[in-house]
Amino acid sequence: MEIGNLSQNQIITTFGPGAIIDAKEDSVMGLDINYWNNDGEEYRRIYFNKLASYLGVRYFLEPKQGKNSFPVIIFPDWHVCSKVGCNLVFKLSESVTGNPEIYDSKGPKCPDCGFKAYPSRFIMFCENGHIDEFPYREYLHGGETQCEGKIRLRSASYTSSLNSLILSCDNEDCKARKTMGDALLKATFSDYICKGRHAHRPSSQNEKCSADLIPSLRGATNVYFSIVRSALEIPPWSDKLFQIVEEKKVEIDNYIEDKKIEAEIDDEVFDYEKARMRGLKVAYRKLDQNLMSFERFVEIYKKVAEGASEYSEIKESEYNSILNHRAVSKNYSSFLASEEELPEFLKTYFTRLIRIEKVREIMALKGFTRASFPDPDNDNFTSVVNLAGKETGWLPAVRTSGEGIFIELNREEVDKWLLSFDSKSISDIYDNEYKKYVESKGWEYRQNRDLVYVLLHSLSHALIRELSLRSGYSTTELQERIYYSENMCGLLIYTASGDSEGTLGGLEEMGKISNFQDVLLNSLKNALVCSADPGCLKTYPGNENLNGAACHACLMIPETACENGNRLLDRRTIVLTQEKNFTGYFEKLVREVCGINL
Ligand SMILES: [Zn+2]
Ligand SMILES: [Zn+2]
Ligand SMILES: [Zn+2]
Ligand SMILES: [Zn+2]
Ligand SMILES: [Zn+2]
């Protein structure tokens, strides 16, 4: 089955295992990674222990570019004949035309008339990530049925409404008929039980599940959300020597593992330290020893082996590396940054502006959710469907190169800003609504989301919208990383869309202070008004909406660009508005430099 030409990036971000993919002739689903054939050299390895250890694997494999890059199965199984008058609804796996000899040469065909058949538009899924066939037979017969009559799906008129789609049974004694009008209503299936099926793992058993079934169209956007975890390959991890040791670490781990098994077989006490030291020596001997001394090798190994247990550790290490970019020697080939001198009038608001001329990112696919966008910080809630990394020891990932702009807000000024209005009560609204939301999803509430996060996030979006007009990258090619914790208060806007080594350079160019001033001021000006005002301006979080004054017309960006599903945004945190409860962080700047007063 040809699945068309998917790029490696697309496999990680959009069409990974568990996603429904429109193939040339049919609809298919990518299989879990333990079904991938990774014998020999089929996939290229990527080593980055910091991200790998956090994700519970040892290394990554890069999916192949292009056709047949990974195994898929036909999903959904139900198909509908395209011949007017026939329109048979059938399961391909139960009909002769599903036989590989016929299917592989001709694609899906109707077993009755031989015409081309299309995959069912309707499917079912649940909040826990299960997915299943649409229950055509049960839907038509109003529940469980013994009737085995042929089913047909015909259009009663030329309109495309579901009401005009008529499902009918051929059985003379039955003659059931029903429109598809209720086929997408959740209530229709309230008596149905999720079978707990993971179609991307065809040979594993179904799970127990008590979630409601959600009927859906196959191509709906909420059928699949990838959970991608990424890390920037920045100093010291971008150092060539570190990368050599990263690769050796897997060898050393294997060596230790072997020694452990030998000790068990021989009934001996296993000395981990001794085995590790010997493993290091063995691995070092195979290296070109002019590269580094054994002492240096061990030192780097220890750093690499530290790994990370929380995603926030990865972000903190990135943040610190970026701030300390001056300490980086020119030998670092894959990371290059330069500091911009801030003019006095911006020093109030920012402490640092750093152009990232060159950076590499590793993006790994951890798993997916269905029904709702995953939380950026929560990994182990029940509705996440993890790929089989535990079994394989690896996850799929890509390494891309890019460029970006990093800014750090002036923490002192941020604290002053928080005291300049009743920020506490608004912060509480955000945090409470966020907490409610997280809990309603069954996630663990781990990090509070106060107004400073909203400020950073809103600024990031305002800048991305402006940068997309000037940098040569569209909003879908730009990405944000919000660095916020007790020790961090900054953001990075970057692009890592380049599959190849190079980038356009247009983004970091915008980080030059002469350009950045314009970008910033224009972003702020644009954030002053929204075509949906005054409604937009008066919005507060509540009822599952986690945004304040933010909508598609003013502050939202494509979901691929946002690290938080377009949640926790509010223009009022950055500019001045007529909302008296707020002071914007840049209010004075907007008044003084833009000459705007309300
Ligand atoms: Zn037919
Ligand atoms: Zn029937
Ligand atoms: Zn389920
Ligand atoms: Zn708006
Ligand atoms: Zn965002």
Using the mean position of ligand 1's atoms as its centre, give its distance from the Cα of residue 218 in Å: 21
| Average pLDDT value for residue range 154-159 | 79
Using the mean position of ligand 4's atoms as its centre, give its distance from the Cα of residue 568 in Å: 13
Q: What is the pLDDT of residues 197-253, one digit of tens each?
A: 999 999 999 999 999 999 999 999 899 999 999 998 887 777 778 888 888 888 898
Q: What is the pLDDT of residues 91-116, one digit of tens each?
A: 999 988 888 888 888 889 999 999 99
Backbone phi, psi, residue 435, to 5°: -60, -45
Backbone phi, psi, residue 368, to 5°: -155, 165
pLDDT at position 379 is 67
Residue 388: pLDDT over 70: yes
- Ligand approaching nearest to the C-alpha of 559: 5
| Average pLDDT value for residue range 514-531 | 94
- Ligand approaching nearest to the C-alpha of 192: 3
pLDDT at position 65 is 72
- Ligand approaching nearest to the C-alpha of 174: 2
| Average pLDDT value for residue range 533-544 | 89
- Comparing 470 with 447, which gets the higher pLDDT? 470
- Ligand approaching nearest to the C-alpha of 153: 1
Look at strands 117-119 and 165-169 and give their pairing.
Answer: unpaired
Using the mean position of ligand 4's atoms as its centre, give its distance from the Cα of residue 427 in Å: 20
pLDDT at position 40 is 53
Structure tokens at 536: 């937009």
Which amino acid, one-letter code, is at 423?
S
Residue 159: pLDDT over 80: no
pLDDT at position 111 is 93
- CA 493, CA 157: separation in Å to the nearest integer? 50
Using the mean position of ligand 5's atoms as its centre, give its distance from the Cα of residue 492 in Å: 11
| Average pLDDT value for residue range 19-45 | 84
Using the mean position of ligand 3's atoms as its centre, give its distance from the Cα of residue 127 in Å: 7
pLDDT at position 238 is 72
Residues with CB under 5 A from ligand 3 (ion): 126, 128, 130, 194, 209, 211
Using the mean position of ligand 3's atoms as its centre, give its distance from the Cα of residue 192 in Å: 11
- Percent of the chain past pLDDT 90, that is, above it, reads 57
pLDDT at position 545 is 86
**Residue closest to 431 by CA, chosen among 407, 413, 448, 456:** 448
pLDDT at position 151 is 96
Using the mean position of ligand 2's atoms as its centre, give its distance from the Cα of residue 86 in Å: 17
- Comparing 340 with 330, which gets the higher pLDDT? 340
Structure tokens at 569: 């945004």
Question: Are the beta carbons of 445 and 436 closer than 8 angstroms?
Answer: no
Using the mean position of ligand 1's atoms as its centre, give its distance from the Cα of residue 348 in Å: 71
416: CB partners within 8 A, 6+ apart: none
- Ligand approaching nearest to the C-alpha of 535: 4
Residue 500 banded pLDDT, cuts 50, 70, 90: low
Residue 573: pLDDT over 80: yes
pLDDT at position 200 is 96
Using the mean position of ligand 5's atoms as its centre, give its distance from the Cα of residue 15 in Å: 22
Question: Are the beta carbons of 536 and 550 closer than 8 angstroms?
Answer: yes
Using the mean position of ligand 1's atoms as its centre, give its distance from the Cα of residue 221 in Å: 30
Residue 207: alpha-carbon gap to chain centroid? 24
Residue 331 banded pLDDT, cuts 50, 70, 90: low
Which amino acid, one-letter code, is at 16?
G
Using the mean position of ligand 1's atoms as its centre, give its distance from the Cα of residue 117 in Å: 7
pLDDT at position 250 is 87
- Ligand approaching nearest to the C-alpha of 550: 4
pLDDT at position 339 is 95
Residue 333 banded pLDDT, cuts 50, 70, 90: low
Using the mean position of ligand 5's atoms as its centre, give its distance from the Cα of residue 229 in Å: 15
Residues with CB under 5 A from ligand 5 (ion): 562, 564
Residue 347: pLDDT over 80: yes
Q: What is the pLDDT of residues 395-451, one digit of tens each?
A: 999 988 889 999 999 999 999 999 999 999 999 999 999 988 888 877 777 777 899
- CA 350, CA 436: separation in Å to the nearest integer? 33
Sign of CA dihedral 50, 53, 55, 57: positive
pLDDT at position 378 is 66
**Residue closest to 27 by CA, chosen among 97, 115, 123:** 123
Residue 157 banded pLDDT, cuts 50, 70, 90: confident
DSSP state of 99: S
Mean residue pLDDT across the chain: 89
pLDDT at position 41 is 60
- Percent of the chain past pLDDT 70, that is, above it, reads 94
pLDDT at position 423 is 92
- Ligand approaching nearest to the C-alpha of 577: 4
pLDDT at position 472 is 85
pLDDT at position 443 is 74
| Element spanning 92, H or E | none
Through-space distance between the first and last CA atoms of the chain, rounded to whole angstroms? 61
DSSP state of 135: -
- Comparing 484 with 233, which gets the higher pLDDT? 484
- Ligand approaching nearest to the C-alpha of 370: 3
**Residue closest to 365 by CA, chosen among 13, 70, 46:** 13
Q: What is the 3-state secondary structure (H, E, C) of 42-89?
A: CCEEECCHHHHHHCCCCEEEECCCCCCCCCEEECCCEEEECCCCCCEE
Q: What is the pLDDT of residues 119-151, one digit of tens each?
A: 999 999 999 999 999 999 999 999 999 999 999
**Residue closest to 351 by CA, chosen among 305, 319, 397:** 319
Using the mean position of ligand 5's atoms as its centre, give its distance from the Cα of residue 461 in Å: 6
- CA 29, CA 33: separation in Å to the nearest integer? 12
pLDDT at position 97 is 84
| Average pLDDT value for residue range 34-50 | 80
